[in-house]
Amino acid sequence: MHTIDMINLLNPHFWSYFVYGAFVVALAFYVRATIGFGSGLISVSLLSLTFPIKEVVPVVLILDLAGSILLGAYDFSHIRFKELTWLFPGSIIGLIIGTFILAKTDAQNITRFLGVFIISYVIYAVSFKPEKLPIIRKFWAFPLGMLAGIIGSLYGGGGPPLVAYLQLRRIEKRAFRATFQVIALLDNILRVFTYLSVGLLNLKLFEIGLSLIPFASLGLFGGNKLHMKISNETFMRLTLLFLFLIGVKYLIQ
């Protein structure tokens, strides 16, 4: 497995690594613009096949921060700010817990519970028609926000618990995407400071993240076009399909 720090223009394998990374990032952010989340989970899963996860996660953090800003600004008028009241405090606590777990342990071994949680939710959700899913109370925002913060710190994306919450609050697709970006942006900003405090983020990794932002933007542009074309029902089914694939991935990892 290659260390990101060692990749530079003098390395004969530089361009193969860079093209692979650029492709993964563009694909991940295409999905992010289409369904509102998933860029971190895709990026970390595929990039960690080649690079150490403790270096991949901070790089993906920089990309997710940029993606949240771009999508959040584009969808600003659709943000449901009232949904953030309990989500944000829970996610703060979760990301602090997850950051220290990532710094002290091998995060790749802490996945089975997450896989069971995701698949259980998907099975539950697909047993109803989208319009007949129950509506949960805002109280659930705190524990699901905390779980999202932990997952975000460990794996570069806390999407599954947030998706469950926003779906069960019966939020339409663009408001779903817009609100998710605000949560992601606030979490990403806090993660930058916590990663810096424990030495997980440095100048080299920051520069690599910046170099990949154009490819993330390309993916966002393409994914946004698809997002605008699909119906709310198709949107929900796509999010559930993606969640199921994530759950399977965590179970067999």
pLDDT value of residue 156: 56
> What is the arithmetic mean of pLDDT over 152-180?
81
Structural domains in the chain (count):
1
- Cβ contacts of 144-147, under 8 Å, gap ≥ 24: 144/87, 144/90, 145/86, 145/87, 145/88, 145/89, 145/90, 145/91, 145/94, 145/183, 146/90, 146/91, 146/93, 146/94, 146/97, 147/90, 147/94, 147/117
pLDDT averaged over every residue in the chain: 82
**Taking the model in full, what pTM does it have?**
0.77
pLDDT value of residue 6: 46
pLDDT confidence band for 63 (50 / 70 / 90): very high
pLDDT confidence band for 252 (50 / 70 / 90): confident
Q: Rounded to whole angstroms, what are the CA distances from 34 to 31, 70, 190?
A: 5, 14, 25
What is the residue range of 90's domain? Answer: 4-252
